[in-house]
Structure 1
Amino acid sequence: MQGLDLVFFDGRLTGDVEQTKLLDDPYVLVARRGQFTGGPVPLAALDGAAVVAQPPICDQARVERVYAEAGVRPLVVFRTADNRGVLSMVRAGMGLAVMPALALDLQPDDVLCTHELAPALAPREIHLAWQANRTLSPLAVRVVELTREAVRGL
């Protein structure tokens, strides 16, 4: 955090920081429309399924631990840190994806749709953090205020 005024992070930071949890961002299964019927999809349905995923950094590593603990072993066919890239691969039929809802930009006429998983994965927690024992600049204080207002509107 050294040298940064504020940082958005998907998880609680440790160390000499102050932070505020902004929101919970639920995970959903992204699939081509019609691939699954309505209602939640069992997590076990991912066992052996082709999956497009983020690199195992940040919260993706936790998601993959949840799979392992449940005995679910998806076949990761492609990894990219680009959310749109993940969605493009799912649109092309390369596999499924499990993504946080805020990462999605799906239109009503999209060939993709989302499904809840059962059991649901714990949501990704979005935090805003700054160095502890440091006076925030007026601009940083305003960013914190605006961020809290925007989150209340979600």
Structure 2
Amino acid sequence: MKSLKKKRRIQIIIAAAVALVLAVGLIGYGFRDGINLYRSPSQMTENPPALGEVFRLGGLVETGTLQRGASETVSFKVTDGGASVPVRFTGVLPDLFAEGQGMIGTGAMEGDTFVATEILAKHDENYMPREVIDSLKEQGVYEDPNS
């Protein structure tokens, strides 16, 4: 009787371990393309991304750099006060996208230009993404509008 209980306990432990390994493997497989690291323009100059690496770039849209082409392609520069990165985006920009405002784009580098596949902009006059605020504070160019 004891031997049967011991075998059953070992079988349950083995089954739980296999289920745990399978679950961790499926989670890792699901995240393989879903994790995009955030970078500011200054971080990109210090530590350039790997070729083809998809990441998020955030900062302020530099005033005077927004250029709209004949098609849906838009180019501009993103800055955090310390460095600027040229950005190219083909698609429809959010309604609240404007020069001097915070934005975060998802994409990859092609040469010296960040080619964005998605652009997110602020949703009201007071909001700026936390990552953008943190990188602007590091550069000493952020002033809190609530203070």
TM range (shorter): under 0.3
Q: Which structure is higher in RCO with an 8 Å CA cutoff and minimum separation 6?
A: 1
Rg comparison, structure with higher value: 2
TM-score, with length taken from structure 1: 0.23
In terms of fraction of residues, the more helix-rich structure is: 2
